[in-house]
Amino acid sequence: MSNIQETKLTDDQLIQAEFDALLEEYLQSNHRRKVERITKAFNLANQAHAGAKRRSGEPYIIHPLAVARIVCGEMGLGSTSISAALLHDVVEDTEYTVEDIKNMFGPKIAQIVDGLTKISGGIFGEQASAQAENFRKLLLTMSDDIRVILIKIADRLHNMRTLGSMPPAKQYKIAGETLYLYAPLAHRLGLFTMKTELEDLSFKYEHPEEYKSISDKLKATEEQRNRLFNLFREPVDEKLKAMGLNYEMKARVKSVYSIWNKMEAKNVSFEDIYDIYAVRIIFDPLPGVDEKNQCWDIYSLITDIYRIRPDRIRDWVSRPKANGYQALHLTVMGPDGEWVEIQIRSRRMDEIAEKGFAAHWKYKESAVEEDTELDKWLQTITEILESPDPNALDFLDTIKLNLFSSEIFVFTPKGDMKTLPQGATSLDFAYALHTDIGNRCIGAKVNHRLVPLSHQLKSGDQVEILTSRSQEPQPEWLNFVTTARARSRIDAVLKKAKKEASKAGEEKVIAAFRKAELEANTSNLDKVSMYFGFPKREEFYYAVEKADVVLPENIKKLIKEKSDNVLFKYVKQAFGGGNKSQKKEDAKKEEEKEKPKFDKSKPYILKEEGFIRNYVLAECCKPIPGDDALGFINDDGNVVVHKRSCPIAMRLKSSFGERILNTQWSSHETAMFDATLSVKGIDSVGVLTSITKTIAEYNVNIQRLLIEANDGMFEGKIKMKVHDVEDIQHMCVALSKLKSIKSVGRIAD
């Protein structure tokens, strides 16, 4: 037998084994048996993808099979979703059409496959330019049949599990958009297990060293955790058994990504994270006893044994989260003197928490309430979709506000309840009632007490909104609204007002040109706006109208001076002034000239020769040699370097993946980079001298030192020039050893 035949046989065996595993998982579920339909879908997909291979070298059909297994085994969906998952790439990658699918499998599966095909571009594919439009399509399709997004999440989960075969630049792009979009979506749909895995896998590819370091530490402390858990569970086991309960108790370890997030947010080490594990109790309700009451019975039993922390009780049993999550959370003092979180759930609650409420709310055989919280969420999203002209990235950020929210429940004076995100303000509540009420809001009465627009609401508050006809939305309102609805409504009014102000400013500028007997052509207007530091004319006109820019008496003199200035010509060229057709031609030549520079199969080496660098440092995160970094090719063909963890970089990865480069620092022995340290501690005599003396031992150049003391404590920022991350690390270690210093760390300034 030839090698080709052997490979084929091996591939066929692999495919058959995967399909058999899928059928076995399906037959173990409690769905109606529709094996023929699944087999028919598999046979069509297998034949359509015949001969196609994935980058890893395995047959392409393995991917749809893996997605179908996730949909079946990890989401608990039935034959319709499994068949659609098997067929999800057929229309996009082969000759088959949606009409063919409809004729063979009926309208429902065809509709889901069509939805998946429509959203395969944009943020989900290579073309990022149509991103907002594709996201609109995705969310509008969701409200039609949510199985589209569930299968899309399963598809992304399998792609993340097999991301190792991709080149690094592609890994950053896919990991970035997964963390930015898919993980929040999975969380909102109640797919907690998947959300955690998506976050961990993204983190693993973006920060491999940190991922390995935390994973190793978790492994090293596993034995100690198990010992503490066993100590904790013994007395609880005894009481639960006495109740006659059928239950399981297990320790759930915090995910690597969550631990890292907490370390970053609180600027602490792994050893300072105390809530690394939580105890989960999952029980089968006793016959004739309400499962909610049973949760409280278990709560009572635990608090008889261990001391409770009252401010950490979370009752999601009586009022579930919007994504369907139900559980009773409490925190008690463990036998080792550390706080331990306990989650109490029934088997049904656990099923929903693991496989997602979305998989259950609409597709059960019996009648189900359609008016769920998820429906309300989709309705809110649909309203945002209809708002005028959303910018692609702003639009995604607005949507993310809703994806991440935890809920509070607030009441009108008449007793009507509104669900709002945690941290929502009285202004958010006003917009939740009606756009006009939000736009005219001047304050509120919370529990009959007068409060400002920025007042944060709590669950159970009764809120009355106060309005005035003369009130209009202000730019600072955006600083304290948290709901996507409020933000999009305020944005719409502000954009309209800004447009009108720009128009009025333009008239003033043109009047000034007429007075100076100058032609108000594009070239002259560009010169003046760029002289005042505005690359866009609309921004310049707006500044003129708002009196932030005062036009000189003689504009003619200004233009003549600046036209003769070489530097001005360079600025004009950089910002794109001059003849448009010439600009396009120059840009085209420049682009063609730049293209061969970037070989994405190899890391782009960040070099510095003399005073010339082959890259630009991003102002938002100011990376330095040693930081995990990536490159972004901007419109000018320059490589802008960001930290991989930078929020702006995350947006770029999810929106302009094709422009992302894998970068590598060369040795920067002579070069110096900006870095800022934040220092906090106890105010004492000579503390400033100790700090400066310690820093002086390293070959760095302090540029600015600002320290403020208050109530016996001090906070300081030290801006300096350093060679690399190692300088910073050594300094932080040395400073943290000083008696008065309580915390020290690098910050973006």
CA dist., res. 343 & res. 326, Å (int): 10
Tokens describing residue 649: 């970089």
Tokens describing residue 328: 């009773």
Report which residue type is found at 494: L
Q: Residue 681: which of 728, 653, 718 has the closest Cα? A: 718
Q: Residue 81: which of 120, 25, 139, 134 has the closest Cα? A: 25
Phi, psi of 308 (to 5 degrees): -90, 155
CA dist., res. 99 & res. 106, Å (int): 9
Q: Which of 93, 284, 586, 715 is catalytic?
A: 93
* Spatial contact of 268 and 203, defined as CB atoms under 8 Å apart: no
Angstrom distances, CA of residue 712 to CA of 681, 684, 742:
9, 8, 13
CA dist., res. 69 & res. 61, Å (int): 12
- How many other C-beta atoms can be found within 10 angstroms of the C-beta atom of residue 85? 34
330 forms bridges with which residues in the sheet? 342
3-state secondary structure of 465: strand
Tokens describing residue 109: 């599966």
CA dist., res. 426 & res. 481, Å (int): 9
3-state secondary structure of 663: strand
Stated as kind and residue range, the H or E segment containing 417 is strand 417-421
708 forms bridges with which residues in the sheet? 715
Report which residue type is found at 620: C
* Spatial contact of 357 and 321, defined as CB atoms under 8 Å apart: no
- DSSP codes joined into one string, 209-264: HHHHHHHHHHHHTHHHHHHHHHHHHHHHHHHHHHTT-EEEEEEEEPPHHHHHHHHH
CA dist., res. 675 & res. 7, Å (int): 55
- DSSP codes joined into one string, 71-132: IIIIT---HHHHHHHHTTTHHHHSS--HHHHHHHH-HHHHHHHHHHHHTTSGGGSS--TTHH
- How many other C-beta atoms can be found within 10 angstroms of the C-beta atom of residue 206? 23
Phi, psi of 351 (to 5 degrees): -60, -45
CA dist., res. 143 & res. 370, Å (int): 12
Tokens describing residue 222: 């596993």
- How many other C-beta atoms can be found within 10 angstroms of the C-beta atom of residue 243? 13
Core vs surface per residue 397-430: b (16+ CB within 10 A) or e: bbbbbbbebebbebbeeeeeebbbbeebbbbbbb
Long-range (24+ apart) CB contacts under 8 A made by 381-386 are 381/139, 381/142, 381/143, 381/484, 382/139, 382/140, 382/143, 383/485, 383/488, 384/484, 384/485, 384/488, 385/136, 385/139, 385/140
Q: Which of 11, 25, 58, 92 is catalytic?
A: 92
- DSSP 8-state class, residue 319: S
Long-range (24+ apart) CB contacts under 8 A made by 304-307 are 304/239, 305/235, 305/236, 305/239, 306/332, 306/333, 306/334, 306/340, 307/332, 307/333
**93 classed as catalytic:** yes
Which residues are tagged catalytic?
A: 92-93
